[in-house]
């Protein structure tokens, strides 16, 4: 990292918030996609938006690439540092500035942890809806960059659908704001929130975010159904959808994922080829009536066992196994890659059968955990990084799964983003002209291409080295992958 740039940083940051020694940089070298790592030139720890703005302007002036980082839980390598670039770590901007229960909004800084917003809103019977599996550690800034989802997206959408207003610093240092405290958000004029959310950190940094809060549902009703084959579980999803019910979540786990969850959190799941979790939520009278209908449907769907959560504890146990399934897979295999493809719901069965064939072809195990309600697959490809060529085979298998999703009319990513991991697959979804237009848009906002350089678009430098094993935080069970 060049000297004048570092000197300029020293005018903004005291020594304890400007990290340059190898040992200090180490924790920032990778994110939730553990197969990659790279070393930044420096890390800064701003404590307010003025420092962020000054830092971005400095990066622009010196053409130094930067990465805005929250907790580094990205599963697509989206928060992988740019080699010798700057990491702007936002964890200290963690203030919830305001909870306004009358307007049902929260105004927060980017480093606030997702779950902390729900905790702050709880006294008013409100909550923040998007619930990525890493919600106890991931930050809103990261959720915004990647339009994070979760198990409960079917009904109320992803992060983008819950952002009403933002103040941002663009990659060239311009500061702008858009949206409002109305649930209409931007409402008049182009929906800039929709454009900024999910831009993977390529446009700039969110400084202040106004979020929509939702009323806590009066009642949840959760059912767990066990099947002798994965196809039957998939058919049950179609039955539920065709019935006119609109569940808050519809999830499926296959045998290997169940085994992992059992080994890890002992959720007490039945021994089955596939488990289906369906959850209804809302006003008690309505939910009770719908739940009766749901149970009838599942009875006819060929489930050999059905369990109904009778208490909040039982509901929590059902979800604990599901939400912990990914890190649990770490017990079965030294390494794994998580995929995030989407297929039309009606082609889930086809997709799962094709993945099964690919397993045999590559001689690797794949566990499946997925948001069946919106066709969002999360195949976990297990491999042993110590074995020569295993990572390459796993990556090749992952690539075939992505191509499969696109060929079935879906997407290469439902909620993890393109990041570093899938940038070479962007052309499978968009034409050269479409990618050119996106690139031109990026350059109109970031002429030096410094904001999260090397992500989303194909080509570019390959900064990544290979590494084995879980993320250190994952090993401690602090974060998990969804």
Q: How far is the CB of 429 from another protein (least distance, A)?
A: 5
Residue from the set 208, 273, 350, 374 that interacts with another protein by CB under 8 A: 374
Closest of 373, 391, 392, 374 to residue 383, by C-alpha: 391
Q: With binding defined as CB under 8 A, does residue 318 bind another protein?
A: no
DSSP assignment string, 239-285: HHHHTT---SEEEEEEHHHHHHHHHHH-----S-SEEEEEEEEE-HH
Query: Do residues 338 and 327 make contact, with C-beta atoms less than 8 angstroms apart?
Result: no
The percent helix, strand, coil of the chain (3-state, each to 5) is 40, 20, 40
| 203 lines the binding site for another protein (CB under 8 A) | yes
105-108: strand order across its sheet: 96-100, 105-108, 204-212, 163-170, 175-179
Least Cβ distance, residue 59 to another protein (angstroms):
18
How many Å apart are CA 242 and CA 431, to the nearest integer? 34
Stretch that binds another protein, among 85-93, 172-180, 304-312, 392-400 (CB under 8 A): 172-180
Between residue 321 and residue 360, which ones bind another protein under the rule CB under 8 A? 340, 342-346
Per-position b or e across 83-113, b if 16+ CB within 10 A of its CB: bebbbbbbbebbebeebeeeebbbbbbbbbb
Which of 128, 146, 227, 269 binds another protein (CB under 8 A)? It is 146
- End-to-end CA distance of the chain, in Å? 35
Please tell me whether residue 160 binds another protein under the rule CB under 8 A.
Answer: yes
438 binds another protein (CB under 8 A): yes
361 touches 245 (CB < 8 A): no
**Residue 403 near another protein by CB under 8 A:** no
Q: Which of 384/400 has CB closer to another protein? A: 400
Span from 5-13, 210-218, 353-361, 384-392 in contact with another protein (CB under 8 A):
210-218
Q: Which of 91, 216, 295, 448 binds another protein (CB under 8 A)?
A: 216
Q: How far is the CB of 184 from another protein (least distance, A)?
A: 5
Contact 284, 193 (CB under 8 A): no
- 9 or 169: CB nearest another protein: 169
C-beta closer to another protein: residue 15 or 189: 189
Question: Interface residues for another protein in 251-290 (CB under 8 A)?
Answer: 282-286, 289
Among 10, 24, 392, 434, binds another protein (CB under 8 A): 434
- Binding of another protein by 181 (CB under 8 A): yes
Residues 116-135 that bind another protein (CB under 8 A): 124-126
From 215, 363, 458, 472, residue interacting with another protein (rule: CB under 8 A): 215
Q: Is 241 in the site for another protein (CB under 8 A)?
A: yes
Task: Tell me if 167 sits within 8 A of 207, measured CB to CB.
Answer: yes
Which two structure tokens, joined as six digits, stand for 431?
């034409």
Q: In terms of CB distance, is 39 or 167 closer to another protein?
A: 167
User: Look-up: residue for tokens 């020293």?
Assistant: 10
- Of residues 30 through 59, those in contact with another protein by CB under 8 A are none
Nearer to another protein by Cβ, of 186 and 225: the residue is 186
Q: Segment near another protein (CB under 8 A), from 33-41, 175-183, 304-312, 325-333? A: 175-183
Report d(CA 319, CA 277) in Å as an integer: 9
Contact status, residue 88 vs residue 66, Cβ threshold 8 Å? yes
- CB closer to another protein, 184 vs 387: 184
**Radius of gyration of the CA atoms of the chain, in A:** 22
Q: Which is nearer to another protein, 171 or 366 (CB)?
A: 171
């Amino acid at each position: 990292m060049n000297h004048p740039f570092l000197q300029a940083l020293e005018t903004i940051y005291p020594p304890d918030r400007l990290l340059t020694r190898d040992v200090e940089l180490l924790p920032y070298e990778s994110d939730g996609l553990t197969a990659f790592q790279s070393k930044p030139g420096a890390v800064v720890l701003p404590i307010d938006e003025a420092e962020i703005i000054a830092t971005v302007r400095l990066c622009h002036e010196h053409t130094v690439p930067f990465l805005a980082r929250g907790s580094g839980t990205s599963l697509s390598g989206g928060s992988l540092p740019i080699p010798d670039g700057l990491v702007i770590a936002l964890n200290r901007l963690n203030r919830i500035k305001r909870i306004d229960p009358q307007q049902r909004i929260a105004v927060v800084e980017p480093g606030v942890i997702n779950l902390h917003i729900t905790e702050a809103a709880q006294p008013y019977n409100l909550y923040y809806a998007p619930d990525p599996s890493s919600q106890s550690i991931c930050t809103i800034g990261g959720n915004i960059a990647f339009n994070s989802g979760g198990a409960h997206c079917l009904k109320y959408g992803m992060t983008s659908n819950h952002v009403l207003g933002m103040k941002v610093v663009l990659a060239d240092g311009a500061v702008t704001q858009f949206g409002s405290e109305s649930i209409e958000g931007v409402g008049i004029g182009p929906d800039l929130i929709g454009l900024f959310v999910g831009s993977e950190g390529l446009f700039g940094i969110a400084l202040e975010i106004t979020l929509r809060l939702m009323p806590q549902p009066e009642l949840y009703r959760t059912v767990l159904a066990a099947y002798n084959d994965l196809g039957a579980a998939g058919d049950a999803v179609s039955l539920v959808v065709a019935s006119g019910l609109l569940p808050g979540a519809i999830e499926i786990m296959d045998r290997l994922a169940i085994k992992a969850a059992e080994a890890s959190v002992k959720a007490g799941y039945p021994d089955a080829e596939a488990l289906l979790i369906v959850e209804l939520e809302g006003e008690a009278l309505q939910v009770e009536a719908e739940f009766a209908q749901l149970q009838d449907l599942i009875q006819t769907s060929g489930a050999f066992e059905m369990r109904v959560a009778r208490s909040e504890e039982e509901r929590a146990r059902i979800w604990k196994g599901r939400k912990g399934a990914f890190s649990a897979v770490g017990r079965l295999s030294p390494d794994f890659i998580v995929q995030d493809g989407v297929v039309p719901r009606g082609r889930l069965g086809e997709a799962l059968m094709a993945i099964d064939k690919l397993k045999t072809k590559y001689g690797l195990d794949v566990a499946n955990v997925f948001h069946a309600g919106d066709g969002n697959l999360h195949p976990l490809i297990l491999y042993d990084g110590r074995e020569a060529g295993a990572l390459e085979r796993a990556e090749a298998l992952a690539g075939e799964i992505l191509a499969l999703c696109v060929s079935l009319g879906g997407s290469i990513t439902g909620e993890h983003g393109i990041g570093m991991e899938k940038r070479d697959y962007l052309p499978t979804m968009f034409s050269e002209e479409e990618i050119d237009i996106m690139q031109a848009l990026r350059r109109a906002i970031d002429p030096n291409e410094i904001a999260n350089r090397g992500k989303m678009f194909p080509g570019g430098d390959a900064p990544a080295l290979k590494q084995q094993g879980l993320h250190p935080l994952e090993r401690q069970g602090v974060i998990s992958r969804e």
